[in-house]
């Protein structure tokens, strides 16, 4: 009797999606639908920009002129996706937040992602002002912002599968990790080339910049949070 109860309890715990998580994903999905409906041409151009030089030129033109609103909405969507990723297989699986409920864990993830995004943006702006490279900061932000938006659009469906389809949980996580690795690699290469080609920054300083603001933070995050991710794959 006790064994049957424990089996049922463990099954429901593993398969159960907290209402807070379900509502959060629904809101993010509705946000995405609204964005795709109202800015579908911009979204199409954004997606093509990674494989077409012509589309990338169009994106830069659009970013600097009439579609600021579309850009803002997709940036917000990207931050939402990062927050849900942080909650799904980092914050909710760590010992540091074991005493928090689902609602508190979710808002911890949102707070951390929001803080890091704002801090990184301000720090980059400050570097541009200090070294009199404001234009380079602006170019770099445009390039990387496009990568961020595309990443959010591509990874979100797999994030939904990870949270709501138990049989596909492991494979969806593997796909998310692979997409994330490819996305980070493109960011690093792009930022490095922008510094060299558009800013005439020496190779050493461009590499130092990438290591300081892009690579080292990721290594630290992997060091801290690799255990919960590997525990899911185990």
pLDDT in tens, 16-38: 567 878 888 999 999 999 999 98
> In the Cβ-directed half-sphere of 68, how many Cα atoms lie within 13 Å?
3
> In the Cβ-directed half-sphere of 113, how many Cα atoms lie within 13 Å?
21
Q: Tally the domains of the chain.
A: 1
User: Which tokens hold the place of 83?
Assistant: 């927050």
Render pLDDT for 155-195 as a digit per residue (tens, 0 to 9): 999 999 988 888 888 899 899 989 998 998 888 887 777 76
pTM, entire model: 0.78
Q: Check residue 59 and give its pLDDT.
A: 56
Provide mean pLDDT across the span 120-144: 78
Q: Report the alpha-carbon distance of residue 92 to residue 234 in Å, rounded.
A: 17
pLDDT band at 67 (very low <50, low <70, confident <90, very high): confident
CB atoms within 10 A of CB 151: 21
- State which residues form the domain around 114: 2-233
Instruction: Please check the confidence at residue 76 and state whether its pLDDT lies above 90.
Output: yes
- Read out DSSP for the chain? -HHHHHHHHHHHHHH---HHHHHHHHHHHHHHHHHHHHSHHHHHHHHHTTT-HHHHHHHHHHHHTTTHHHHHHHHHHHHHHHHHHHHHHTGGGSGGGTTS-HHHHHHHHHHHHHHHHHHHHHHHHHHHHHTT-HHHHHHHHHHHHHHHHHHHHHHHHHHHHHHH-GGGHHHHHHHHHHHHHHHHHHHHHHHHHHHHHTT---HHHHHHHHIIIIIHHHHHHHHHHHHHHHHHH-
């Amino acid at each position: 009797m006790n064994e049957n109860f424990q089996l049922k309890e463990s099954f429901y715990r593993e398969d159960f999606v907290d209402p807070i998580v379900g509502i959060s994903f629904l809101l993010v999905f509705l946000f995405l639908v609204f964005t795709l409906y109202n800015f579908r041409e911009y979204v199409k151009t954004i997606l093509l920009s990674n494989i077409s030089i012509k589309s990338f030129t169009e994106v830069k033109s659009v970013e600097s002129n009439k579609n600021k609103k579309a850009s803002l909405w997709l940036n917000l969507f990207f931050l939402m996706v990062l927050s849900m990723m942080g909650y799904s297989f980092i914050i909710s699986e760590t010992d540091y937040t074991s005493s928090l409920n689902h609602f508190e864990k979710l808002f911890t993830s949102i707070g951390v992602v929001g803080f890091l995004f704002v801090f990184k943006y301000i720090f980059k702006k400050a570097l541009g002002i200090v070294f009199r490279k404001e234009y380079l900061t602006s170019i770099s932000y445009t390039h990387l912002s496009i990568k961020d938006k595309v990443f959010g659009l591509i990874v979100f469906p797999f994030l939904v599968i990870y949270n709501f389809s138990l049989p596909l949980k492991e494979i969806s996580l593997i796909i998310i990790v692979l997409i994330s690795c490819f996305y980070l690699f493109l960011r690093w290469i792009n930022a490095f080339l922008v510094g060299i080609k558009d800013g005439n920054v020496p190779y050493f300083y461009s590499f130092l910049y990438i290591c300081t603001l892009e690579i080292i933070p990721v290594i630290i995050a992997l060091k801290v949070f690799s255990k919960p991710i590997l525990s899911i794959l185990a």
